[in-house]
Amino acid sequence: MIDKRHKTLGEFIIENQSSFQYSSGELSKLINAIRLAAKVVNHEVNKAGLVDILGGVGETNIQGERQQKLDVFANEKFIQTLKNREIVCGIASEEEDDFISINSSDEQHQNKYVVLIDPLDGSSNIDVNVSVGTIFSIYRRITPVGTPVQLEDFLQPGKNQVAAGYIVYGTSTMLVYTTGFGVNGFTLNPALGTFYLSHPNMQFPENGKIYSVNEGNYVHFLQGVKDYIKYCQEEEGDRPYTSRYIGSLVSDFHRNMIKGGIYMYPKSSVNENGKLRLLYECNPMAFIAEQANGLASGGRHRILDIEPTELHQRVPFFCGSKNMVEKLQEFLDKHYYGK
């Protein structure tokens, strides 16, 4: 009997394919495409320090952020890999101003899925050799199969996701994803180029002692957030908590899911809707969090219930251990947090 810990991602996908409703194997092919792109991007991320691939290409993306060469590379690789597999009918990316419509070979747009990606999250960390990540979110299209994909196929609430996951390019490279039946983590053996099931059934501890927020913005936060941060710092019971924030959502989220903790990117007088993007950062991470017994709030609404209005819209984001998010929510509700 092969120990579960040595199961490959490929074996896991095949074994679990039948548990995914209406999957005719396309979703499995889609996850496999992401697996391939992850390995290609991982190779470049790991050698970035050696090759002159660092530094911006002088352009900025729609977010007004200076594009790093690895941003551009990762974006191109994921889009190219997804296009080649003819599984998706459309892609939206943090690095693309508008969504990309993919004409299937028979021009009938028979493909049923759309993918939204943040190809390289935390890219400002690339130059200082801190972990970065890729985040992906998958939906079934809602407009008729066989017609060109529309914006409404991408503007679906997060609760409609059929799969979501991230790759963290850290001390080891991991792919963590859910199809609605729990969260599983796979670690890449770079020597073999194979992902192995290293973290089956990942769960947020209900309590945690880590809070992650950019305290440099403290003076700009709403009172409810300020009060929660002070609560974390008070000497009482199992507090004070530890502050851990490395400026890479995927890494902070991943650590908090393993150890227990809460990640916060509140709105503020500087970022009136927060900084994180709903469609390809908050929704996929919220789907994973809830599948791992955690919670994800936008301040007043469950993240997965928010009806999107724009492709690159931003929302406040509070996500992690159930009891920590609920405690934060008490402070926010007391001060009537905005939408």
Residues that bind ligand P6P (CB under 6 A): 121-122, 124, 214, 247-249, 252, 275-276
Short-list 6, 14, 44, 5, CA closest to 32: 14
CB of 248 to ligand P6P, least distance (A): 5
What is the rounded CA–CA span in Å between residue 315 and residue 308? 10
CB of 249 to ligand P6P, least distance (A): 3
Place of tokens 């000497």: 235
- Give one DSSP letter per residue of 91-116, joined into a string: EEETT-SS-EE---TTSS----EEEE
Short-list 84, 101, 179, CA closest to 141: 101
Specify the DSSP class assigned to residue 319. Answer: E
Cβ proximity to ligand P6P: between 122 and 284 the closer is 122
- Residue 174, phi then psi, degrees to nearest 5: -125, 145
Cβ proximity to ligand P6P: between 90 and 133 the closer is 133
Q: Tokens at residue 185, please? A: 């983590």
Q: Tokens at residue 269, please? A: 């007088």
For the chain, the helix, strand and coil percentages under 3-state DSSP, each to the nearest 5:
35, 25, 40
CB of 187 to ligand P6P, least distance (A): 21
Specify the DSSP class assigned to residue 123. Answer: G
With contact defined as beta carbons under 8 Å apart, do 115 and 124 qualify? Answer: no
Cβ proximity to ligand P6P: between 18 and 171 the closer is 171
Cβ proximity to ligand P6P: between 93 and 179 the closer is 93
CB of 314 to ligand P6P, least distance (A): 10
What is the rounded CA–CA span in Å between residue 257 and residue 293? 10
CB of 256 to ligand P6P, least distance (A): 12
What is the rounded CA–CA span in Å between residue 164 and residue 281? 10
Cβ proximity to ligand P6P: between 33 and 92 the closer is 92
| CB neighbour list of residue 274: distance below 8 Å, 6 or more residues apart | 265, 266, 267, 268, 314, 315, 316, 317
CB of 147 to ligand P6P, least distance (A): 34
CB of 269 to ligand P6P, least distance (A): 14
Cβ proximity to ligand P6P: between 87 and 308 the closer is 308
Cβ proximity to ligand P6P: between 88 and 164 the closer is 164
Cβ proximity to ligand P6P: between 317 and 331 the closer is 317
CB of 141 to ligand P6P, least distance (A): 27
